[in-house]
Amino acid sequence: MTFNAPGSISFPVGKGGSYRPVLFQYTGLTGTSIVSAEQFETPLTGTLPAYTSLLTTGRHWTITQSGGTGLQYFVTLDASGYTPSGTIVMLKKDAAIVSCPAVAAASLYTNVAAFTSFSDFALGQLTCLLSTGPAPKVADLVVTGQPGAVIRWYDAASGGNLLAGTTLLVSHTDYWASQEVNGCESSARFRVTAIVNDCYITVATGAAGSITATSATCGGIISNNCGGNVTASGVCWATATGPIATGNHTTDGTSSGTFTSSITGLTPGTTYYVRAYATNSSGTAYGNEVNFTTP
């Protein structure tokens, strides 16, 4: 297809007896561009980004162009025949495979931000990653300034809004840091792009109860596991803060939701620290810490 200006086309491609057109739209173009698209019934090759797996395990696309400059475009790919279990992303292979957010209309997925180069494509999905704390906030962003500098975060390269440390981070969003030294704030700002794993599993620890000289009950709640199967859960405890599941712990099933654990073998007159935990293929996550003292 030849483009002399921004515009769109549906490439009539498909393989394996199935018609799966690729929708292509130029939103920026200088000169004349000749664009072609082809579908292959083989997986995209290369190393995937962290916490990402292929969705279209037997399908990828190649889109090429010649002649144009100042390119900006969007592409819509067909995921029919595949059942996603996590958040869908578009995978683009240049020198390496990069992951780009995608929005869906039925089984069709379109990149969120415009592409500026041409390459191989596939659809992927985020795998689950167990969190070890609350959802990330602006206060979790870190840059190194001059000694004694106060770092301030904004939502724009200039002007914009000063962001509170409690502001939740939004994935694939730019945040801008300035530094204040001796009461003077820099006019230039440093950009940081936040990429937050959408699969963010939460584990919360319940209150301790039924406390005797040698036993107690406690439990937790496992939520938002994004389809990642829990392989173990329970509570762990110690006489110091930060108990882990390789020490004293219970094993209370593999289901998400609320569970209650029985803690035994305690010493009278002792303070114990307890955390709920959950394990899947990504690792072990812990809930908040609670404590109690046996009589």
Q: What is the pLDDT of residues 235-273, one digit of tens each?
A: 999 999 888 888 899 988 777 778 899 999 999 999 999
DSSP H helices in 24-177? none
Are the beta carbons of 106 and 138 closer than 8 angstroms?
no
Q: Is residue 132 part of a domain?
A: no
- Strands 2-3 and 33-40, bridge-based pairing: antiparallel
DSSP H helices in the chain? none
> Lowest-pLDDT range, 31-35, 199-203, 207-211, 289-293?
199-203
Confidence grade of residue 201 (pLDDT, cut at 50, 70, 90):
low
The domain in which residue 222 lies consists of 200-293
Which tokens go with 150?
A: 């106060």
Question: The domain spanning residue 225 has which CATH number?
Answer: 2.60.40.10
Are the beta carbons of 246 and 237 closer than 8 angstroms?
no
Higher pLDDT, 249 or 85: 249
Task: Output the pLDDT for position 216.
Answer: 95
- DSSP, collapsed to helix, strand or coil, labels residue 127 as coil
Q: What's the burial of 70, exposed, middle or buried (CB within 10 Å: 0-12/13-18/19+)?
A: exposed
Q: Are residues 118 and 14 in the same domain?
A: yes
Q: Are residues 120 and 168 in the same domain?
A: no
Give the Å distances, CA to CA, from 241 to 39, 66, 112: 55, 62, 44
Higher pLDDT, 186 or 223: 186
Average pLDDT score, the chain:
87
Q: Is residue 133 part of a domain?
A: no
DSSP H helices in 160-290? none
Query: pTM above 0.85?
Result: no
Q: What percent of the chain has pLDDT over 90?
A: 53
Task: Output the pLDDT for position 224.
Answer: 60
Are the beta carbons of 58 and 16 closer than 8 angstroms?
no
Give the C-alpha separation, 39 to 62, whole Å.
7
Q: Give tens-digit pLDDT for 14-26.
A: 887 788 899 999 9
Q: Are residues 40 and 116 in the same domain?
A: yes
Task: Output the pLDDT for position 200.
Answer: 53
Give the C-alpha separation, 292 to 288, whole Å.
14
Task: Output the pLDDT for position 14.
Answer: 86
